[in-house]
Amino acid sequence: MDMKRRLNLFFLVMILILPLTVLAETGENLWLRYLPLSNQLQQKYAEGISSLMVAGEGAIVKSAESEIMMAYSGLIGKPLRKVTKPVAGTLLIGTDQHRAIRDLNLSSELEKCGDEGYIMRSVSVKGGNILVIAANSNAGLLYGTFDLIRRMQTGDDIAQLNVVEVPRYNLRLLNHWDNLNGTVERGYAGHSIWWNRPENETVLKNQYVYYARANASVGINGTVLNNVNAAPEALTAEYIEKYARIAEIMRPYNIKVYMSVNMASPAVIGKLKNSDPLNPDVVKWWEEKVKEIYARIPDFGGFLVKANSEGQPGPHDYGRTHVDGANLLAKAIKPYKGVVMWRAFVYEPGQEDRARQAYNEFMPFDGKFEDNVIVQVKNGPVDFQPREPFSPLFGAMEKTPLMVEFQITQEYLGFSNHLAYLSTMWKETLDADTWCKGAGSTVAKTTDGTIYPHKLTAIAGVANIGRDVNWTGHHFAQSNWYAYGRLAWNHQLSSETIANEWINMTFTHDQAFVKPVSEIMMRSRESVVNYMTPLGLHHLMGWSHHHGPEPWTEIPGARPDWLPSYYHKASSFGIGFNRTTKGSNAVEQYFSPLKELYNDPNTCPENLLLWFHHLPWDYRLQSGKTLWDAICYKYYEGVEDVRLFQKKWDMLEGIIDAQRFSEIQYKMKVQTREAIWWRDACILYFQTFSGKSIPFELERPIHDLDELKKIKFDMTHHN
C-alpha cells in the first residue's frame, strides 16, 4: 500500500473514531463551555429562538448581546441572526425605556424587579411566540441573558417561560485574600490573578474578561481585589492606577471593584504623626485619598476593613472604637455613594471564650454606625470551621445591617486536595433559625432586608481563585465558586439544584454521570466534617497551615486560643468546650429557645454537642453509643465515605474527558490518604486521654501516633 493510500485510510479511521473520543479539557472554561448540545435540544431551541433583537445601548448591554451570540453559536451550532423588529422566534432583550418593551405593558411587573432583577417571558405574537428578557437596567438584562443561557446549557424547556427574578442581596461580593506581592493567603490554586504578574496586557485582559463573565453568569457584582490583611501600599497612586485598569475591564459586566485598606495608612504612606480616626489631619487625609480614588474609578465600590484583629492596626491603637474607625471612612466615601464593610472578626488574647468576643465587641455599637457601613460577620462565631453554629450576631443587631461572610477557599476543609461541596454548609447557616422575631427568623432573612428592612444588604465569599489553569486547584472546587454566586443571588435555591446545574454545564448531561456525581457532592461536606471534626469538635488543625491534624500542638508563648487544646480540652474526664451557663455561657448570646436547647446536652443537636459541652467519655448519646464510641464511628464513617466516592468516580471513566477524569481521580486518592491520616491522628491522640479501645468491629489504624506527630506538612503540592 503506497503512502498516499495509507494516509487516506488513517484519516478515514480518525474521522470514524473522533466522534467517539471525548476530547481533553483543562477546566479553564469553567461552566461557560458552550459546547454543542444534542441534536434534539439544538432543534428544539432553534425552533424557539431564531433571531435576536436588542433594545438597549451601553457596554453592559453589549456584553449581554455578545454572550448570547457566543452561547447560541456554540450550543446550537449556527449563528443567531439579528433583526430590528420582533417577529415569531425572536429573542427580545431590552429595558422599559425602549418602545419594543413598552409595547408589551410590563411596567407594573418591572416595578418589582428593582435595579438588577428581570422578567423572562414567552409572549404571543403574529405567527407564534417571542421570548422577552426585560429589566429596568442594563444589569438586569445581563443577568437575564445568563439565566436563559444556563437554562439552555442544562437542557431546560424554554418554550413557555414566565420568570421574575430579583436578587436577594444588593451587594454580592468576592473577597480576594491576594497580597500585592502575588501570593494568596489561604489560596490553594496558585498565585494571584491580580498582582505581581509579568504577562502582557492582552493576556491579562483576556483572563480578566473571562473572570468577569463567570462572575456575572452567577450574579456576582463586586470584587475586593486585595487581602483583608491589607498592605498600606494599596492606597498609593501606583496601585490605584492598577485598580482603575481592572475596574475598566469589570465595568461592562456590572462588577464594581473594592479595596481592603489598612487603618495605619495615613501614618505609613501619608507620613502623618498617627492614624487616629479622630485626628483632623487623618480625617482630611482619608477625604483626599477617597477623592483621588474616585477621580480614577468613578464607580468604585468602597472599602473592606479588618481592624484590631490578629495584629492588624485599628482605632483601638488610639483608644477609639470600631464605630470611630468605620464612620471616619464612611463619611469620607458617602458623597460618592461608596460603602464601608467593617469586619466583625475581632478577638484579643484573654480568658474570655473566643466564640463570645465578636458579639460582646459589636452589640454595644448597634445603631451607631453611619448608614453606609455594613458589618461583615463570619458565618460562625470562631473561624470558618468545617462546622460551627451560626454567629449569634445574626438577628441580634437590629439597627445595623450585617452581611454574611462565607469562605469559598477551603482553608479548613482540605485545601484544593479535598472534594467538599460547600453549598450544603452555607445553606445550613442561611436557613438556620435565629428566633430573633420568633420562628422562621432565619439568618438569611435577618441579613437580606426581610426582617430588618435595611436598604444596604450584602453577602461576601472569600475567593478560591488563582492562576492554576482550572482556576481553583481542584475541578470540583469550581462548584463552590458557582454555588456561592447562585446562593448570593437566591438563597432559597437548594444545594442539589445548584449541584445539578453545575454538573450539567461543566461536564455532561448524561444521567449516568450526573446522578452519582450529584450524590457525591451532596454527601461530601458532611464526610469531611466526620473525618476531621465530628460532633462539634473544632480547630484541631495545624497551628500555621490549618490543613493536617495536630490536636496535640503546644507552642510555648503562643496565644492559647490559637492552639487546638484550647478548643477540644481533652482530659481523662472527657472532651469538648463547655459553653453552657456553667461554662463560658456563650449560649446566652442566642435567643430562646436556642439558648435552652444548646445548654442541655440531651437537647443540643448532636452535630454541635462538643461545641457547647464538655462531656465524659462514657456519656450516652441518643443512639445509645458512648461518646468515645460515637467519635470513633464518625471518624471511620468519614473515611469510608471518601473510599466510596473513589469507587464511584472510578466507574465513570470514559463518560467525560480523560484529562479531567484522571486529575480528579488523583485528587480523590490524595483525599482518601489524608482522611485516613486525620482519622488515625485524632482517634489515637484522644485515646491517650480516654484510655478506651477502638470498637472491635472497626479496622485498626494504619499509623502510629508518634509517627503522625513527626509529619511535617508540605505546602508545595497545594499550589
- Domain of 476, CATH number, reads 3.20.20.80
**59 to 64, 220, 226, 463: CA distances (angstroms):** 9, 17, 26, 26
279 in the same domain as 257: yes
The C-alpha cell that represents 642 in the structure block: 471518601
- Closest C-alpha to 224, from 345, 60, 359, 343: 343
Whether 548 is covered by a domain: the verdict is yes
107 in the same domain as 54: yes
97 in the same domain as 224: no
Q: Is-contact 497 482, C-beta < 8 A?
A: no
Whether 600 is covered by a domain: the verdict is no
pLDDT at res. 21: 40
pLDDT at res. 16: 39
Whether 101 is covered by a domain: the verdict is yes
Residue identified by cell 439552555 is 152
- Helix spans in 431-577 (H): 443-447, 478-489, 495-506, 511-532, 564-568
144 in the same domain as 272: no
d(CA 639, CA 673): 9
* CATH code (residue 78): 3.30.379.10
pLDDT at res. 562: 83
* CATH code (residue 570): 3.90.1330.10
- Identify the active-site residue in 405, 411, 561, 641: 411
- Identify the active-site residue in 199, 241, 292, 310: 310
pLDDT at res. 6: 45
d(CA 211, CA 193): 10
d(CA 149, CA 71): 7
Q: Which domain holds residue 631?
A: 530-577+614-718
What sign results for the dihedral spanned by CA atoms 272, 274, 280, 283? positive
The C-alpha cell that represents 479 in the structure block: 462548584
450 in the same domain as 406: yes
Whether 607 is covered by a domain: the verdict is no
Whether 473 is covered by a domain: the verdict is yes
Q: Is-contact 289 303, C-beta < 8 A?
A: no
Whether 5 is covered by a domain: the verdict is no
pLDDT at res. 18: 38
Q: Is-contact 611 388, C-beta < 8 A?
A: yes
CB contact set of 499 (below 8 Å; sequence gap of 6+): 421, 423, 479, 483, 518, 521, 522
Q: Is-contact 486 218, C-beta < 8 A?
A: yes
- Torsion over CA of 583, 586, 590 and 592, rounded to 10 degrees? 10
408 in the same domain as 294: yes
Whether 519 is covered by a domain: the verdict is no
- The answer to whether residue 292 is catalytic is no
Specify the DSSP element, H or E, that contains 65.
helix 59-76
Q: Of the candidates 106, 138, 165, which is a domain's last residue?
A: 165
Whether 582 is covered by a domain: the verdict is no
d(CA 50, CA 78): 10
**116 to 136, 148, 717: CA distances (angstroms):** 7, 15, 41
Q: Of the candidates 506, 522, 553, which is a domain's last residue?
A: 506
- Identify the active-site residue in 383, 428, 629, 680: 383
429 in the same domain as 561: no
Q: Of the candidates 137, 165, 193, which is a domain's last residue?
A: 165
- The answer to whether residue 383 is catalytic is yes
Q: How many domains are there within the chain? A: 3
Q: Which residues pair with 347 in a beta bridge?
A: none
Write phi, then psi, for 549 (nearest 5 degrees). Answer: -75, 130
- The answer to whether residue 241 is catalytic is no
What sign results for the dihedral spanned by CA atoms 191, 195, 201, 204? positive
The β-bridge relationship of strands 171-175 and 458-462 is: parallel
Low-confidence ranges of the chain (pLDDT < 50): 3-4, 6-21, 715-719
355 in the same domain as 230: yes
DSSP state, residue 701:
P
394 in the same domain as 290: yes
Q: Is-contact 234 261, C-beta < 8 A?
A: yes
128 in the same domain as 146: yes
CB contact set of 570 (below 8 Å; sequence gap of 6+): 551, 685, 686, 689
677 in the same domain as 641: yes
230 in the same domain as 128: no
* Residues written for the chain: 719
